[in-house]
Amino acid sequence: MANPQPIVAAPRSHVARAPLRFPPRRSRPEGIQRAACTACQKRKTKCDGLRPRCSACTVKETPCEYKVAEGQTRVGAMKARNEELESQLAISREIIRALRTAPMPEAAQLFERLRSGADLAEIIDSGQHNNQQAPGQISGSDATEQNINITENKGLIWANPSLGSAKDQEVAASSRSSSNQQVGFEYDCSLATPLDILKSPACFDAYNLFIDCVGVLFYVYTQDQVKSVFEIFLRRPPEHVPTSLLCEAFAIAAVGSLYSHDTIPPDIGITFYNMAKWFLNDLVKIDPLRAMKVCVLLAAYNIVTKETVALSFIDMGLNLGRSQSIHREQVPDSLTAAAWIDYKRTWRTLICFKGWLVATLGFVPWNEWTDDIIWSTVDPSLENITIQETIQIHLTKIAIIEAKMFRQIFALSDLRREHVDEARANLHQWYQDLPPSIKLAALSESPLANGPKVGVYLTHFIHLGAMIMLQRRILQHYIQTAEANLTLAKERITELSDAFEDGFVAALQTSRMLDLLMDEEAVFQRCWMCM
């Protein structure tokens, strides 16, 4: 059989291009297509769309219901429903925003209107009408709050009450007056907004009390820094106060309200806290390191109120500081040496919070990079060190030791003797490294003032608590082992008898120090240590 000859391709010039053929497009029938009823959709049968009852439902004598309006397609109905839901969501957001930002009497009035069944759209419309009638206020897309006027400044949207009738104003005034008498404000409580409450002396006095109570242990702001924040805030009119300064002022006032001995009611403190969170994102964009300080205050607020969300603010603050190289030894070009030490001390407070909460709440996760930088961050300055900073440094160290001890001993199912010995050695070394003036043996004759002395007691509470925690883990391991092998359990607890006895000694010393604190009248309800 002869080999077939290859077929040579024809020249391109001789190739005639055939016209492209596409399948004919289906033409949509003119007019609106009918939508099937619910019953036909479930049966997956053809529906002629007759109303009020289609032919199929008429024959089968079944209920016939349409979810689509007559003359409307399913797609059109879905779009209309989506627009309706978006409108309802926008109205709900405006109502929630008004409840959050309005003063308490006006927020209570709005809440009563909601409970009475008033239509949300009507509430929003009445708010827009009041805004148009109120002189001196701006108008715009943001002026849709219910019964409030909007003042906008550098991204700040602030709510002021707008009471329509004279009767409403009289009711609101009587509400403020009764609230004053119940709470016992020492200043005029007919204040229109939280901004006015921030300007009252009670807020500044409350934060001064916080400095005296907790500032010995945790560095955030100095007295001069707090004073400068409030001076700027008091000198400028509200429309010229930047949101970054508002964030700091609200955070300071929120923490201070916890120590105001009910001079500031709790709901006002919650308002300060919420407003600080509201402006925190703006401060992060403007100055991350100042935002780190606010994170410390928000974490402290949640620690005192026993909320575990404090961990989120701690991690946020640590990441903000790390993003600005606060964890490094070299001073960044963007900071002065004094500012770097200031932020370094704030960073130390965050690490102290982190270590203490990890051990106290039992949260195992711990940033590994913290282990590498921790010892370089707890001693930012060794010159002219004060007693307060000495306490803060050693408090941070014991919090870290306790957190690491929890990770090595409590997080693991098996209790190893080398881990127990390492924990005991770390606790012993921590006490040996203390300056003689703040050791327990010297406290009875110490010339320290009441504030630093209480801070020393609280620092030793953390140390003794770590010893008790170690004893508790040994006892837990003994009980678990005794269920399977009592002889082995006795051998293990004999090996760890020294650490076990340390727990009893620590408990006895703790009870004695609590008695001393009672004598100093330093035991109070809002204690950060009781989590």
Task: Tally Cβ neighbours within 10 Å of residue 114.
Answer: 13
Residue 156's beta-bridge partner residues? 153
- Alpha-carbon distance of 399 to 162, in angstroms, equals 50
pLDDT digits (tens, 9 = 90+) for 409-466: 876 777 888 888 888 999 999 999 898 888 887 776 666 666 788 888 888 988 998 8
Contacts of 15 (CB under 8 A, 6+ apart): none
Are 63 and 81 in the same domain? no
> Same domain, yes or no, for 523 and 408?
yes
321: Cα separation from own chain's centroid: 17
User: Contact 43/62 with Cβ under 8 angstroms?
Assistant: no
pLDDT beyond 80 at 132 = no
CB 146 within 8 A of CB 95: yes
- Confirm whether 391 is domain-assigned: yes
Residues 143 and 216 in one domain: no
Same-domain status, 326 and 411: no
Residues 287 and 320: their CA atoms lie apart, in Å, by 10
The answer as to whether 3 is a domain residue is: no
Mean pLDDT taken over the chain: 74
My answer on whether 84 and 61 are in the same domain is: no
| Single residue among 339, 370, 390 that ends a domain in this structure | 339
Distance CA(70)–CA(226), nearest Å, equals: 66
481 and 521 co-located in one domain: yes
Does a structural domain hold residue 2? no
Looking at 164, 183, 202, the residue that finishes a domain is 183
Domain membership of residue 354 (yes or no) is no
Question: At residue 492, does pLDDT exceed 80?
Answer: yes
CB-hemisphere CA count at 13 Å for 452?
Answer: 15
pTM of the model: 0.62
**Torsion-angle region of 116 (φ positive above 0: left; ψ -120 to 50: alpha; else: beta):** alpha
Based on the fold, state whether residues 234 and 220 are members of the same structural domain. yes
Q: Which residue has the higher pLDDT, 117 or 175?
A: 117
93 and 198 fall within a common domain: no
- List pLDDT tens digits, range 46-84: 888 888 888 888 888 888 888 887 777 777 778 887 888
At 22 the pLDDT is 54
**Domain co-membership, 479 together with 529:** yes
**What is the domain count for the chain?**
4
Rounded to whole angstroms, how far apart are CA atoms 20 and 47? Answer: 38
Mean pLDDT, range 179-200, rounded to an integer: 51
**Low-confidence winner among 96-100, 304-308, 330-334 (lowest mean pLDDT):** 96-100
Tokens 């900071």 sit on residue = 335
pLDDT digits (tens, 9 = 90+) for 322-346: 888 887 778 888 888 888 889 999 9
- In this structure, is residue 14 part of a structural domain? no
pLDDT of residue 2: 55
**Residues 210, 163 share a domain:** no
Residues 446 and 523 in one domain: yes
Range of the domain at 529: 382-531
Element (H, E) at 424: helix 417-432
* 16 falls within a domain: no
| Lookup: tokens for 141 | 């897309």
Q: Are residues 218 and 172 in the same domain?
A: no
Last residue within a domain, chosen from 183, 218, 245: 183
Q: Report the C-alpha gap between 145 and 159 in whole angstroms.
A: 8
Given a cut of 90, whether residue 317 has pLDDT beyond it is yes
Q: Does pLDDT of 296 surpass 90?
A: yes
Residue 267 belongs to some domain of the structure: yes
- Phi and psi (nearest 5°) for 476? -60, -45
Residue 376 in domain: no
